[in-house]
Chains A and B, each alone.
Chain A
Amino acid sequence: MSIEVSNLSKQFNGFRAVKEVSFKIETGELVALLGPSGSGKSTLLRMIAGLELPDTGLIKLTGRETTNVSPKDRGIGFVFQHYALFKHMNVFENIAFGLKIRKIPKKEIKLRVEELLNLIQLTGLEKRYPFQLSGGQRQRVAVARALAPRPEVLLLDEPFGALDAKVREELRKWILLLHEQTQITTLFVTHDQHEALEIAHQIFVMNEGIIEQSGIPIEIFDKPATQFVAEFVGENNFIESEVTGHGIVRWGPLSFKVNGYPLNQKVKIYFRPNDVLVNSRSDIESTKAIISKTKFKGALIELQLLIEPGKRIIAHIPKGVFISSGYSEGSDIYFRITEYHSFLSNKKVIDESIISI
Chain B
Amino acid sequence: MKKKFNSFFKSKETDNKKISKLSEPLIVRMIIITTSVFFILIFIFVPLLLVFVKAFAKGWEAYINSITEPETFSAIKLTLLTAVIAVPCNMIFGIIASWLIAKFNFHGKSLLTSLIDLPFAVSPVISGLVFVLLFGRNGWFGGWLFNNDIKIIFAVPGIVLATIFVTFPFVARELIPIMQSNGNEEEQAAIVLGAGPLKIFFSITLPNIKWALIYGVIICNARAMGEFGAVSVVSGHIRGETNTIPLQAEILYNEYQMNAAFAVASLLTFLAVITLAIKKFAEIKIRSEIKQSSIITIGENI
Binding site for B on A (CB under 8 A): 49-51, 71-72, 76-78, 80, 82-88, 97-98, 101-102, 129-131, 134-139, 142, 145-146, 148-149, 162-164, 166-167, 170
Is B194 on the interface with A (CB-CB < 8 A)? Answer: yes
A-B CB proximity, top 7 nearest:
A135-B299, A98-B193, A136-B302, A84-B185, A72-B194, A162-B299, A131-B292
Contacting pair A138 B296 (CB below 8 A):
yes
Residues of A close to B293: CB separation below 8 A: 87
* Interface assignment of B300: CB less than 8 Å from any CB of chain A: yes
Contact residues in A for B185 (Cβ distance below 8 Å): 80, 82, 84
Residues of B within 8 A of A82 (CB): 185, 296-297, 299
- The reply to whether A135 and B300 form a contact with Cβ atoms under 8 Å apart is yes
Contact A72 B207 (CB under 8 A): no
Residue of B nearest to A130 (CB): B296
A-B contact pairs, 23 of them (CB 8 A): A72-B191, A72-B195, A76-B192, A80-B188, A82-B299, A85-B186, A85-B296, A87-B186, A87-B292, A88-B208, A97-B195, A101-B194, A101-B195, A131-B291, A135-B300, A136-B302, A138-B296, A145-B189, A148-B193, A149-B194, A162-B298, A164-B301, A167-B302
Inter-chain contacts of A101 with B (CB < 8 A): 193-195, 199
Closest CB-CB distance, A346 to chain B, in whole Å? 37
A-B contact count (CB 8 A): 95
B209, chain A: closest CB distance, angstroms: 10
Complex: A134 Cα to B299 Cα, angstroms: 7
**Is B204 an interface residue, CB under 8 A from the partner?**
yes
Which of B192, B292, B299, B301 has the most chain A CB atoms inside 10 A of its CB? B192
- In the docked arrangement, what's the CA distance between A80 and B190, Å? 12
| A-B contact sample (14 more), CB < 8 A, given A85-B186, A148-B193, A162-B299 | A84-B185, A84-B189, A86-B186, A86-B204, A87-B296, A88-B208, A98-B193, A101-B193, A101-B194, A130-B292, A134-B300, A134-B301, A146-B192, A164-B301
Contact B192 A162 (CB under 8 A): no
- Give A31 to B106 CA distance when docked, in angstroms: 36
Instruction: Select B192's contact among A51, A86, A163, beta carbons within 8 Å.
Output: A51
Q: Which single member of B186, B199, B289, B299 contacts A138 (CB below 8 Å)?
A: B299
Number of B interface residues at 8 Å Cβ cutoff, please give it.
27
Main secondary structure of the interface of B (DSSP, over half): helix
Separation of A173 and B185 alpha carbons in the complex (Å)? 26
Find out whether the CB atom of A80 lies under 8 angstroms from the CB atom of B189.
yes
Contact B194 A167 (CB under 8 A): no
Q: Is B44 an interface residue (CB 8 A)?
A: no
Of the residues A76, A83, A164, contact of B296 by C-beta under 8 Å: A83
Question: Which residues in chain B, 15-38, are within 8 Å of chain A measured between CB atoms?
Answer: none
Task: Give the distance in Å from the alpha carbon of A76 to the alpha carbon of B193 in the complex.
Answer: 9
Query: How distant is A109 from chain B, measured CB to nearest CB, in Å?
Result: 13
Q: How long is the Cα–Cα vector from A319 to B79 in the complex, in angstroms?
A: 82
Q: Which chain B residue shows the least CB distance to A129?
A: B292
Min distance, Cβ A147 to any Cβ of chain B, angstroms: 11
**Complex formed: what's the CA distance from A87 to B204 in Å?**
9
Q: Of residues 172 to 214 in B, which have CB atoms within 8 Å of A's CB atoms?
A: 185-186, 188-195, 199, 203-204, 207-208
Does B1 reach chain A (CB closer than 8 Å)?
no
In the complex, are the beta carbons of A97 and B302 less than 8 A apart?
no
Nearest opposing residue in chain A for B296, CB measure: A130
B295 at the interface (CB under 8 A from A): yes
Inter-chain CA distance A50–B302, complex, in Å, is 31
Q: Which of A72, A84, A102 is the most central at the interface, judged by chain B CB atoms within 10 Å of its CB?
A: A84
Closest partner residue, chain B, to A136 (CB atom): B302
Contacts of B203 in A (CB 8 A): 86
Q: Which of B49-101 contact A (CB under 8 A)?
A: none
Is A135 within 8 A of B302, CB to CB?
Answer: yes
Q: State the CA gap A165–B185 with chains docked (Å).
A: 24
A17 vs chain B, min Cβ distance (A) = 15
Query: From residue A314, how far is it (CB to closest CB) to chain B in Å?
Result: 33
Residues of A within 8 A of B194 (CB): 72, 98, 101-102, 149
- Distance between Cα atoms of A70 and B212 in the complex (Å): 31
Q: How far is the CA of A102 from the CA of B196 in the complex (A)?
A: 11
Contacts of B207 in A (CB 8 A): 88
Report the bound CA distance from A97 to B199 in whole Å: 11
B192–A72 touching, CB < 8 Å: yes
Contact of A137 among B193, B199, B289, B302 (CB under 8 A): B302
Contact A77 B192 (CB under 8 A): yes
| A86-B204, A87-B186, A164-B301 known; A131 vs B295 contact (CB < 8 Å) | yes
Chain A min CB distance to B192 (Å): 4
Q: Which residues of B contact A98 (CB under 8 A)?
A: 193-194
A149 engages B193 (CB within 8 Å):
yes
Contacts of A149 in B (CB 8 A): 193-194
Complex contacts, A51 vs chain B, CB 8 Å: 188, 191-192
Q: Name the distance in Å between B73's Cβ and chain A's nearest Cβ.
A: 42
Tell me which residues across on chain A come within 8 A of B289, comparing CB atoms.
Answer: 87
Q: Report the Cα distance A132→B244, complex, angstroms.
A: 49
Most chain B CB inside 10 Å of its own CB: which residue of A131, A146, A149: A131
Chain B residue nearest to A155 (CB atoms) is B192
A242 CA to B224 CA in the complex, in Å?
80
CB distance from B205 to the nearest CB of A (A): 11
Chain A minimum-CB-distance residue to B291: A131
B300 in contact with A72 (CB, 8 Å): no
CA of A84 to CA of B192 in the docked complex: distance in angstroms? 12
Which of B291, B297, B298, B300 has its CB near the most chain A CB atoms (within 10 A)? B300
What residue in chain A is nearest B182 (Cβ atoms)?
Answer: A87
Q: Are B208 and A167 neighbours in the complex by a CB distance under 8 Å?
A: no
Q: Which residues from A are CB-within-8-Å of B301?
A: 134-136, 164, 166-167
C-alpha spacing A77/B193, complex, angstroms = 7
How far in angstroms is the closest Cβ of chain B from A266? 44
Chain B residues whose C-beta falls within 8 Å of the C-beta of A102 in the assembled complex: 194
